Structure 1
């Protein structure tokens, strides 16, 4: 069977990988000249399998006024005359309940643990795949006693889902990660998860693309899909793909086009609650190895993550609900730069750090959309948001299982395409 995957980011490439492993003829269509040049290019670098709780949570609404009015807040809202933005926000607000948050967390943990197992299996099968992968563990540090207390309460729920986590005092945080010594007096404590990993998502995608080519997968780069059209001349409605002024034939089509997906699907009457959250990152050369964190670190109250990728330090954060323009806001980049310089002042060359921003395709509940549509040959795999790298392999395997007619590895409750 010939399966066409629309999108050459980490989700699309992972989907293509498992389809090819199942023996299908696979074509990946990507609008950029290379793979992984959009939201997969310079993300946070963390494979956070135990930290998948949705952005919408019971404590979020009380923080929104502060977040949305302060210029350097981790979340910013810039209203647009865009009904999609307002619909997404309304659904986000309705999802900010404990019951909804715990339900989404259960579903996401199951998918993330599947992805964790698949990543380790992939590394065993493909030992030449090189992407600065390291199993360092993750330390989430809290500056505020209230947020630390909330994290300790959540830890019991996380443990019930199979997450191995440990509560650390401020002193224990700096003992475990000495580079945090400068923050020691400002810390309330931390949560350490030994199973978490770091890796360069772009390098992973480039390496996986090379492996795909060795499996005879076609990568149509620089090819932008302009429309998906329903063929109503057949008993079962099917989709044809049109790109660069021509039709590209395939038996099955999987949409993994991230933030561009809603515009492709809308003419078909498929409305996905997907909106881009703009995120930012810096990649700095490490100047002093002992001054940079060796493990993955998340500054919870600043909503900034730090990941060592070989001899580079990745600093990432922010979530701007500001439309579909991927142009970086210089003030947000400078906020990241100044926070990194305060947290780890001697670690990196922040002045010459590479700045980047991307549009994370997020659903209001943070739960991706994975599954069949009402069209006989159209499948969706999108909406992983900030967890794209973490969830990619599991999401890709699920699509391959569905297309091939096998039982999915995890229950698909909550992932289905909205009717």
Structure 2
């Protein structure tokens, strides 16, 4: 069994990994580049725990659709080509994954992992009494403005036990806040959930500190991984070496910069944005989580806050928010749900979601027997984090994994 596991990254993926390992009795050291935990991509994401609606972005027709989007000022996708071989390699692989057969295969991998993640979080909530992060099972409704897109989605619903196809009137009856919004129909999943990802990270951190089995090293940027004789030996940060027994890389989109020979990490950051607006007594925010499919905007009520998240910007590694993109999100949110919250006092956020071209994360062993990956979750980091952590802890403990690892295991370079 592993003696001590070092984890690089203090976002939701790194923290859930630490939590799963500590639950197994393993000692953990977690290094985080910032002075606070869960403060980058995990800070203000969409908040939807979308377990059954996990289709990858790469799908048939998406490249042509994206070309049309790029000609619009209100496009949900923005591409800024750069003199960066990593961007071009990622884009080429992404286009290669834009086939219906590949999308369905990858969607099946994500669904398998997502359902494990849902069961894992439920177990932690019940067995460990883990709470304090505004978790609710409120259901999710994916709504469509375009009749063609709705028809395409309706035909792909295969799980009639857990998903329902609804017409416009049925959507409005289910969620009164949709009255008057020009949606033609929707796909309703009753058992989807919502929670505050940043609050979840803080609860995990508190439990880890209380366990006595987890050490946090904050403000530690790892600049190099030392290896010899086919094994990882140490981390280097600030000129200091930290010997390691086992190492997990969970550093989001920055993970690729820590690459070792023979370890393939095809990651690129997809910048997303969100608004978080307070909900007062006079407001009427939807109780269901809503996804506006055609505008690629997700809406979620998280406690007394209204979270609006959107956009896929493939523009490089600059995390700074684009005011024009945030203004577009606010305008479209106001058009759709004008009474939902106090938009004038909304806080703004941008985050870099670490994505693989296929949309499927990399979880598991590498060619180095003591080096493990848990990264590339894209926009589904919160949804998939608990299941990913459970799988990795099982692998490190050399136990039979809870689900088939096909499609999830890292490939050699």
TM-score, length basis structure 2:
0.97
Q: Which residues in structure 2 correspond to 1:389-404 (within 5 Å)?
A: 389-404=382-397
CA contact (8 A) 1:239 1:378 kept: no
Q: Which residues in structure 2 correspond to 1:36-75 (within 5 Å)?
A: 36-75=38-77
Q: Flag the structure with higher helix content.
A: 1
Q: Which residues in structure 2 correspond to 1:27-42 (within 5 Å)?
A: 27-42=29-44
Matched, 1:171 2:165: no
CA contact (8 A) 1:58 1:96 kept: yes
Q: Which residues in structure 2 correspond to 1:228-247 (within 5 Å)?
A: 228-232=225-229, 236-247=230-241
Q: 1:377 aligns with which of 346, 360, 370?
A: 370
Q: How many residues align?
A: 409
1:109-163 deviation digits (Å, cap 9, x = unpaired):
000000000111111123252101110000111011001001101112xx18xx7
Q: 1:212 aligns with which of 191, 208, 213?
A: 208
Aligned to 1:22: 24
CA contact (8 A) 1:258 1:360 kept: yes
Other structure's SS at 2:35 match: coil
Aligned to 2:249: 255
Other structure's SS at 1:85 match: helix
Q: 2:335 aligns with which of 336, 342, 355?
A: 342
Unpaired runs of 5+ in structure 1? none
1:356-401 deviation digits (Å, cap 9, x = unpaired):
0000000011000011111121111100010000000000011111
Q: 2:221 aligns with which of 224, 230, 239?
A: 224
Aligned to 1:144: 146
CA contact (8 A) 2:232 2:247 kept: no
* CA distance in 2: counterparts of 1:316 and 1:289, whole angstroms: 23
* CA distance in 2: counterparts of 1:344 and 1:328, whole angstroms: 23
CA contact (8 A) 1:229 1:268 kept: no
> Residues 135 and 195 from structure 1, CA distance in 2 versus in 1: closer, same or farther, beyond 3 angstroms?
same
* CA distance in 2: counterparts of 1:238 and 1:215, whole angstroms: 27
CA contact (8 A) 2:278 2:341 kept: yes
Alpha-carbon offset, residue 230 of structure 1? 1.2
* CA distance in 2: counterparts of 1:169 and 1:31, whole angstroms: 48
CA contact (8 A) 2:17 2:392 kept: yes
* CA distance in 1: counterparts of 2:66 and 2:199, whole angstroms: 35
> Residues 197 and 249 from structure 1, CA distance in 2 versus in 1: closer, same or farther, beyond 3 angstroms?
same
1:194-214 deviation digits (Å, cap 9, x = unpaired):
010000000000001000111
Q: Which residues in structure 2 correspond to 1:166-205 (within 5 Å)?
A: 166-183=164-181, 186-205=182-201
> Residues 48 and 128 from structure 1, CA distance in 2 versus in 1: closer, same or farther, beyond 3 angstroms?
closer
Alpha-carbon offset, residue 239 of structure 1? 3.5
CA contact (8 A) 2:233 2:243 kept: no
Aligned to 1:365: 358
CA contact (8 A) 1:230 1:268 kept: no
* CA distance in 1: counterparts of 2:207 and 2:244, whole angstroms: 22
TM-score, length basis structure 1:
0.95
1:75-126 deviation digits (Å, cap 9, x = unpaired):
1101110011011111111101111001001111000000000111111123
> Residues 331 and 198 from structure 1, CA distance in 2 versus in 1: closer, same or farther, beyond 3 angstroms?
same
Aligned to 1:121: 123
User: Which range moves more in the overlay, 325-334 or 60-69?
Assistant: 60-69
Aligned to 1:294: 287
* CA distance in 2: counterparts of 1:141 and 1:116, whole angstroms: 23
> Residues 329 and 14 from structure 1, CA distance in 2 versus in 1: closer, same or farther, beyond 3 angstroms?
same
* CA distance in 2: counterparts of 1:380 and 1:193, whole angstroms: 31
Other structure's SS at 2:15 match: helix
> Residues 128 and 406 from structure 1, CA distance in 2 versus in 1: closer, same or farther, beyond 3 angstroms?
closer
* CA distance in 2: counterparts of 1:229 and 1:85, whole angstroms: 27
1:270-327 deviation digits (Å, cap 9, x = unpaired):
2311100000000000135662111100100000000001111000010001101101
Aligned to 2:156: 154
* CA distance in 2: counterparts of 1:355 and 1:9, whole angstroms: 19
Unpaired runs of 5+ in structure 2? none
CA contact (8 A) 1:284 1:348 kept: yes
User: Which range moves more in the overlay, 203-212 or 371-380?
Assistant: 371-380
CA contact (8 A) 1:280 1:358 kept: yes
Aligned to 1:273: 266
* CA distance in 2: counterparts of 1:269 and 1:107, whole angstroms: 24
